Amino acid sequence: MIGLIPLLLITTLIFLLGIASTLTLPNTLPKQTTPKTSVIREVSEGIKLTFASPHMRNPVLLMSSAGLLLGGPYAVLVPIILRDSHNATGFDFAAAFATFMVGGAISSGILLKIGKVQNPMLLLTLGYALGGIALVTWSFSPPYWFFLTTILLWGFGGGICLNMSRAILQEHAPLTHKSRILSVMYMGDEGGAPLGSLLIGVLVASIGIAQAAMLPGVLVLVISAILLTKTTKASAQQTN
């Protein structure tokens, strides 16, 4: 076995190589420029622009809820279920998280192959719903192989969410505010994950693993159903 310290050093080296590669990227400036203001004002402008447009507001709200309802279960529930329900080893933990990434890579490759998507918000919502399906399934204590299958499915949906949310925002954001608006989405997504992790930990301690998986899973599916209904109605109105 490699051991923990060499593994951490290898990981650090990979991160440093990634940082070095980004330094070689060309510096592309926006076609329009805006005067420099304070950071707080720039952030507030990005938030106002995002929520003024339903095309940008809905993906940001959806991804913010994903950070809260899905980020916590991913970080907390997966290790607890592996430990308590499957007596997992280090390899089992690695396999579970790697399976999630493989699912994301598969959906990203499929989207790359497809190219243009007619209704990106519909696809984004469906990808989001896959996470809810996985969580509801966990509440029934599935066997290990099926647990990994649901993680793969969730990762597949996660790849859709990441790609579609970025594409929607970049398509509708003004040229001068593309990075600022994209940062609003990540602020909601990544900002909700720590709170979601804390809430899941409290739920596991108070009501148990099964209920702690069921509750956010059902909420995700309810949100998905509402958005799917709105998206379908909006598409029908545009067609008519």
Among 114-128, 167-181, 217-231, name the one with the lowest average pLDDT.
167-181
Among 228, 24, 218, CA closest to 125: 228
Q: How far apart are CA 192 and CA 113, in angstroms?
A: 32
Closest CA to 71 of 111, 100, 102, 99: 100
pLDDT at 29 over 70: no
Share above pLDDT 70 across residues of the chain, in percent, rounded to a whole number: 92
Q: Which stretch, 181-190, 191-200, 210-219, has highest mean pLDDT? A: 210-219
Q: The whole model's pTM is what?
A: 0.84
Choice between 75 and 235, residue whose per-residue pLDDT is larger: 75
Q: For residue 235, name the pLDDT band (cuts at 50, 70, 90).
A: low
Least confident window among 38-52, 139-153, 202-216: 38-52
Mean pLDDT value across residues 95-106: 94
pLDDT surpassing 70 at residue 28:
no
pLDDT digits (tens, 9 = 90+) for 102-151: 999 999 999 988 878 888 888 999 999 999 999 999 999 999 999 999 99
Q: Reply yes or no on whether the pLDDT at 64 is more than 60.
A: yes
Lowest mean pLDDT among 42-51, 59-68, 216-225: 42-51
Provide CB contacts within 8 A for 36, sequence distance 6+: none
Q: Is the pLDDT of residue 30 over 60?
A: no
Residue 239's pLDDT band (cuts 50, 70, 90) = low
Q: What is the pLDDT of residue 54?
A: 81
Q: How far is 177 from 32, CA to CA, in rounded Å?
A: 10
